[in-house]
Structure 1
């Protein structure tokens, strides 16, 4: 039997037809089935990117990855935890618990190749996600795709004009109005929206202080608001954070940091804590709270 690279998903029927595996081996303990006829080695870590690559095999040559799966291949990690893979094809694909299969004909100029797979283009992907998810998740996706691929969020409305009457399109103007391609991560977008929905002054995004960039900042009172992700637990990153914190403190800045749970589950508490700090700073500076807005 020839050696085969099984680190990526593969069609079981193709492996058998080529003589690389037997039906017995495929049904054995070495392999795991993700979708009908789509397998991986049993100890392969199945993250969202790999799940999406596996789903693509169901429509290879006659479809594409769409939605959050397309965003993942386009370099934007914005899918909710546990999201199913998403494919789009002219042909019907049998439903599966870990798969969203949409039957649609995507214009060729709204498709591209990413990571060797055919996916919906960044603008089309933003358009699709923005009309099928909640307002916050829609803005998160549009921010991320616009940031990574350098387009204006308003371009989503251009895609919508090509597909008038599509379900969910009524939400798109509000999504575009709330989007900002300067946002550096999904969590930054969530924090920004929490502040905006609470009626707080709009912060400056990606504000530079010396050699450092602050996620969201109120320069007039030197207060920054940042997401504190799991990557900050890395020893090298932790050392960098200490140096950064010392520099910002010496420059007169204070930084409010929030973890994933509170940002996602309790955005109201994020806004409340920022409001408390801004109210005190505005009183001390003798300016109205509204004067702190970047707008």
Structure 2
């Protein structure tokens, strides 16, 4: 038989340790299982009416679950910095110092590694890896495309300086995983404006195509014409990523008018949709190489 929800005023809108409120007589163990409360971690509950985001869960883990020395890391740290987006229900990445025993814990992905004191910062009361250390962990834990996309955002928000990241990455040569770090640092670009654009750029470069310029501004007679997602300016070849906003007919019309102006300026503009990027990247890559080759030949 379902348990009737009961919400003491002192617990409304809060996150709390279940065993403590039971000991205080505020709720019974049976009442904790009612629809009034949402379990976040073992013995950690939230008011079910509270909006629980990934950030909320990180704060709860830091307060109620993580022992000293353990920090929020990876994609979760990047999310706390505003440089990534993780679904509310996804597990939290945490980094445990080598030699310290912790986990497994439901709702957490536990990674172990050496952590220097300078690798950890405290943000709104939450211990998390610094942006620079976060970059290293992203390089080790994620596919290159995904890692670079997040580092692009960290760089775009000036939380990471790419020249320093590239210089520091050389200092990690010889450590396990250093090649992934160096490659990620080389591929990162602070000019990227979206995760799909970053992934597209990285895949193009990894396929052996010269790196494009991001967000290149085309001008004619000193006047603005358009800004291109990816461009090879010397060859006047560009790639535009068509996101979901192109379902809007008015936006589609504006974009095609912009394309016509560019064609008037003798540009070749290739468009890539999410579907084509996912299902026919090889076909698109062939078209891009043909465009670049045709423009490389004397005219």
Shorter-normalised TM range: 0.7 to 0.9
Residues 153, 181 of structure 1: 8 Å contact kept: no
Number of residues of Structure 1 aligned to a counterpart in Structure 2: 280
Name the TM-score, length of structure 1 as normaliser: 0.75
Name the TM-score, length of structure 2 as normaliser: 0.74
Q: Distance in 1 between matches of 2:243 and 2:26?
A: 43
Residues 230, 240 of structure 2: 8 Å contact kept: yes
Match of 2:73 in 1: 66
1:271 paired with 2:285, answer yes
Gaps of 5+ in 2: 1-7, 219-223
Match of 2:229 in 1: 215
Q: Using a 3 Å threshold, how does the CA distance of structure 1 residues 155 and 203 change in structure 2: closer, same or farther?
A: closer
Match of 2:82 in 1: 75
Q: Distance in 1 between matches of 2:164 and 2:123?
A: 23
Q: Distance in 2 between matches of 1:211 and 1:114?
A: 42
Residues 139, 175 of structure 1: 8 Å contact kept: yes
Aligned partner (choices 149, 161, 165) of residue 151 of structure 1: 161
Instruction: Give the secondary-structure state (helix, strand or coil) at the position aligned to 2:30.
Output: helix
Q: Distance in 2 between matches of 1:156 and 1:44?
A: 42
Match of 2:274 in 1: 260
Tell me which of the two structures has the higher relative contact order, counting C-alpha pairs closer than 8 angstroms and 6 or more residues apart.
Answer: 1
Q: Please list, as runs of the form range in 1=range in 2, the aligned pairs for 1:1-295 lying within 5 A after superposition.
A: 1-6=8-13, 10-16=16-22, 21-42=27-48, 48-57=54-63, 58-59=65-66, 62-77=69-84, 84-90=91-97, 91-96=100-105, 98-104=107-113, 106-114=115-123, 116-148=125-157, 149-152=159-162, 154-155=164-165, 158=168, 161=171, 166-209=175-218, 210=224, 212-220=226-234, 222-233=236-247, 239-240=250-251, 242-252=253-263, 255-264=269-278, 267-279=281-293, 282=295, 287-288=296-297
Cα deviation, 1:121-174, whole Å, max 9, x if unaligned, reads: 11110011112333333333333322222411652662674x786532232222
Larger radius of gyration: 2
Cα deviation, 1:149-201, whole Å, max 9, x if unaligned, reads: 2411652662674x786532232222222222322232222211222233334
RMSD of the alignment, in Å?
Answer: 3.7
